[in-house]
Structure formats: C-alpha cells, structure tokens
Amino acid sequence: MSLSGALLNAISGLSAAKRGTELTASNISNANTKGYGKKSAILMARLGSGGVDVLGVKRFQDAGLLSDRRLASAGLENSDAKQLFLKKILNLFGTADKSGSLSAHLSRFESALVGAVSNPSQSISLQNVFTAARELAEKLNQMSQKVQAARETADQKITSQVKTLTSALNTVKDLNDRILKLKLNNKDTSTLEDQRQKQIDDISDIIPIREDPKKNGTVSLVSLGGTTLLATKPAEILFEPSVVITADMSRKNGLLSGLKINGTDIALNEKGPVRGGSLAAQFAIRDELAQAVQTELDAAARNLIKRFQSSSVDATLTAADPGLFTDAGAVLDPTKEVGLARQITINARVDPDNGGKLFRLRDGLMSKVPGTVGDTKTLKAMQDIMSEKQTLASGKFATQSHSLATLSTAILSSLGSDLMAEERQNEYRVSALTQLRELEKDGAVDTDEEAQKMLILEHSYKANARMIKTIDEMLQTILRI
C-alpha cells in the first residue's frame, strides 16, 4: 500500500460522486419528461489497488409493464378509431328526434302523403310530397357519399401511418447502430435508449409489437401477429393510397391496395400480422365497417325504389317504367345494387325543374294530362306502401319483414349496439391503460428520493475531498522531516 494508491482511490470516489451528481441532476431536470427513464450509476469496487469504478448507467424500466402498457395503448387506439367511425355514421343516420335524421325524412314524406290524400287538389300538397321525396332521396345520396368519404379518410390515415411507421422503424434502426457503437466504446447509451423507447411507443400504437432486447444493446421488433418489423434492417412496408373511393371499390376486387410487408401481401383480418393497432382499425373501417353500412344503405334504397315501382301503387306504370324513386333515372337493376344509395333520384316526370309535372304524383307518373283533382287513389296507395311490411331482398335484414320506417330504425339500432359494444371495450381499455400508466409513473423520477441521493453524494464528495486533503497533509509531514 502506498499513499499514492490511497490518493487514486480518493480520486475515483470523487469522480463517482461527480457522475452520480450529474445523473441526479439529469433525473431532477427530467422529472416531468414523458418517457424518461430514471438513471443511476452502476458502481463497482476496483480490483487490486482498490477504489471505485463507474461501470455504466442503469436506466430503470419495467420491461413487462412497458410491454403491457404498449399493448393496452395500441388496443385503445384501435377501438378509439372504430368508435369514432361508428359515432360519425350514427350521427349521419341521426336519431328519430333530430329533424335531419333518416327516420325524420321518412316520417316527413309519409306525413306529406297524408296531407296530399286529404287535399289532393292543392298544388302545395303535391309540392310538399315532391319536396319530401326529393329530400329523402338526397339524404340517401348524402349518406352514401359520407360513408365513402369516411373510407377515403381511412385510406389517407393508412397512408400517413405507414409513413410514420417507416420513418420510426428507420430511426430505431439508426439508434440501434449508435447504441451498439457506444456500447463497444463503453459509453453511456441511456439517452439514446430514451429516444428509442419513444419511437417504439409510436410504432406500437400503429402496430402492436413486442420488443426483443439483444445482449449488445440493440432491439429487434416483432409484431404481435408474428411479423418481424425490425431485425438487422427495417421491414419494407408498402401501401398504395387511393384518392377517390367509390362504393364499388374494394380490396377484394383489387381496386384498393392492401398492405405489403417485404413484398408479401399480408392478411388484414383479426388474426393477421398487423392486428390490434390503429392501422388494423383503419383497414377494418375502410374494408369492412364502412362497406357494411353502404350495403345496408343500398338495401334500403333498393327497397324504396322497388316499393314505388309497382303498377299496384301507380296504375299508369308498366314494368319498363321507373317509379317515383329511380336508379339514376332508370328502373331498378337488382344485379347492380352496390352504390345504389348514391344513385337514387326522384323521377324527372314529376320534377318541375326537369320539365316534369307535379299532377303526375296524383294521377300517375305516365299520365299526360291532369286527371280529376280529387282523385286520391295513387296518393293513398303511396301512403299505404310506405308503411307496408315487405320482405327485404338484400342486406343484413334480408328475408326479414320491414316497413321503411322500421328498416331504417333496425339499421340504426344495429349500428347503435355495435357502438355500445365498442364503447364498453374502450372503457375497459382506458381504465387498464390508466392503471398501467400510473404504475409506470410510480417508477419515474421522484425528486424527494433524488434529494436524498444528493445528500449522500454530497457527503461522499466531502469525505473523498477530505481524504485527499489528509493524504496531502501526510505527504507534507513526510517531506518536512
């Protein structure tokens, strides 16, 4: 043993205290930073001559908790997106007490018919029937358009999420490389790990993933569905956006793009490799949920056209003549039902703006000259056919018997119960996520604890400095002899 050895020990103690102070200062300054992992120095007694070595910096993180929180967050993103879509669609239909709702439009049309039956000679009565019918058709058009717009929005969101995903994967790859280099040189990598964690959080919301840490400090990312997103290099994710989407475009018929990972088309269902996150939700909205709503709208439009296209309602009609509601001006073509709700229009023969005449509502669509002004036969038949229960030919409620009013309510209620199911899931996920976040925050920086550590560090620094002073005095004593 020598005094110079003691001096070296004291100096190593000083530098350990300095490193510790630095980390504590960093912890306190980041007390309110999201995603910051609490850090402390890893100390180890030096072999042989003694003293202390700072081996590295430990970043506190509960890997299990982090993984659970990521999954919960991804699940929430998923159900949030679906819930938002369902709410939007439900608002589009509107509940019966709102004047712009589909139910209200149907009621208004029926009421207008009641008014016309009791007063068939007044042109205002017929005008009311015409306006209500046109607004009903327009409401269906508008709803169909909005549903397709929702699909376009979903497509845009997929595009931007794929972009985010690609850039985040590249950043993680970059950080992996830098961490590897620093580790080889025995440098502190904890700040880079903070950054990497944030990037992985972002990725995980889009596609839920499991993080697979390697011994050399790098991580590889595997999606919950089992596709490797990042190993030595990031996976190549391809999606082709579609700017305009119409009802007849689907992934099935190849008019809309699916998702390619490393050149392979992947399944996008609930068991697919990207399941569970916000990306899967947008695909579900674009390819399933919105399409299902469109199918119901088309089925309702078809039923509406069919009801009024019958010679038992309007005796002047032959099989080749379109009724009051038409498929873009023509008779109903049952083989081309997709997108029908977008095309349903009022027959031009009654539209005064299109050279039609209102009296045809009373006297039959094909009549050339006005008939008896008090004739209510056709109007009464129209009123009756609205509330008549008919077996539906298509859609979710096919083979069920519905009037138009009950059909619109049945569709709305089915959407409502879907929304309720999604909301319940969502509530559960929110509370789970809140809990996990709280647990995670419990492990984050606590300034009281840091202050305590600072006292110890200060103490240690003073003691080591005192040591150096003592050694100096001892050396002076020797020299004075």
Site string for other proteins, 60-79 (x = CB under 8 A): x-------------------
Structure tokens at 59: 């970043």
421 versus 467: smaller Cβ distance to other proteins: 421
> How many residues are listed for the chain in this entry?
481
Question: What residue type is assigned to position 434 of the chain?
Answer: T
**Site for other proteins contains 185 (CB under 8 A):** no
251 versus 437: smaller Cβ distance to other proteins: 437
| Contact in structure between 140 and 341 (CB atoms under 8 Å) | yes
389 versus 469: smaller Cβ distance to other proteins: 389
216 versus 417: smaller Cβ distance to other proteins: 417
With tokens 């997106």, the residue in question is 81
Binding residue for other proteins, selected from 72, 92, 106, 172, defined by CB under 8 A: 106
Q: Name which of residues 411 to 430 contact other proteins (CB under 8 A).
A: 412-413, 415-420, 423
Site string for other proteins, 384-403 (x = CB under 8 A): --------------------
Report the interhelical angle of 102-118 vs 123-184 (nearest 10°). 180
| Contact in structure between 391 and 400 (CB atoms under 8 Å) | yes
Q: Which stretch binds other proteins (CB under 8 A): 28-36, 71-79, 207-215, 220-228?
A: 28-36
**Site for other proteins contains 437 (CB under 8 A):** yes
**Site for other proteins contains 119 (CB under 8 A):** yes
Please name which of 189, 178, 187, 172 lies closest in space to residue 39, comparing C-alpha atoms: 189
Q: Which stretch binds other proteins (CB under 8 A): 292-300, 317-325, 331-339, 404-412?
A: 404-412
In angstroms, the Cα distances linking 187 to 3, 56, 96, 155 are: 31, 7, 67, 44
With tokens 């996990």, the residue in question is 436
Question: What residue type is assigned to position 120 of the chain?
Answer: P
Structure tokens at 199: 């990037």
| Count of beta carbons in the 10 Å neighbourhood of residue 91 | 13
Binding residue for other proteins, selected from 405, 465, 467, 471, defined by CB under 8 A: 405
> At its nearest, how many Å lie between other proteins and the CB of residue 308?
19
Angle formed at CA 363 by CA 357 and CA 368, multiple of 5 degrees: 55
| Count of beta carbons in the 10 Å neighbourhood of residue 441 | 11
101 versus 326: smaller Cβ distance to other proteins: 101
Radius of gyration of the chain, Cα coordinates, nearest whole angstrom? 36
Q: Which stretch binds other proteins (CB under 8 A): 66-74, 141-149, 217-225, 370-378?
A: 370-378
Give how many residues touch other proteins by CB under 8 A.
Answer: 55
Rounded Cα gap, residues 147 and 245, in angstroms: 10
Rounded Cα gap, residues 29 and 23, in angstroms: 10
**Site for other proteins contains 123 (CB under 8 A):** no
Binding residue for other proteins, selected from 77, 110, 327, 337, defined by CB under 8 A: 110
Composition of the chain by helix, strand, coil, percent to 5 = 60, 10, 30
Structure tokens at 14: 């000083």
**Site for other proteins contains 90 (CB under 8 A):** yes
Q: Which stretch binds other proteins (CB under 8 A): 18-26, 99-107, 148-156, 160-168?
A: 99-107
124 versus 475: smaller Cβ distance to other proteins: 124
Binding residue for other proteins, selected from 57, 89, 104, 281, defined by CB under 8 A: 104
**Site for other proteins contains 164 (CB under 8 A):** no
Structure tokens at 75: 């699940």
Please name which of 330, 156, 152 lies closest in space to residue 247, comparing C-alpha atoms: 152
| Contact in structure between 436 and 65 (CB atoms under 8 Å) | yes
**Site for other proteins contains 173 (CB under 8 A):** no
**Site for other proteins contains 373 (CB under 8 A):** yes
Binding residues for other proteins, rule: CB under 8 A, are 31-32, 34, 38, 60, 90, 95-97, 103-104, 106-108, 110-112, 114-115, 117-119, 121-122, 372-375, 405-406, 408-410, 412-413, 415-420, 423, 434, 437-439, 441-449
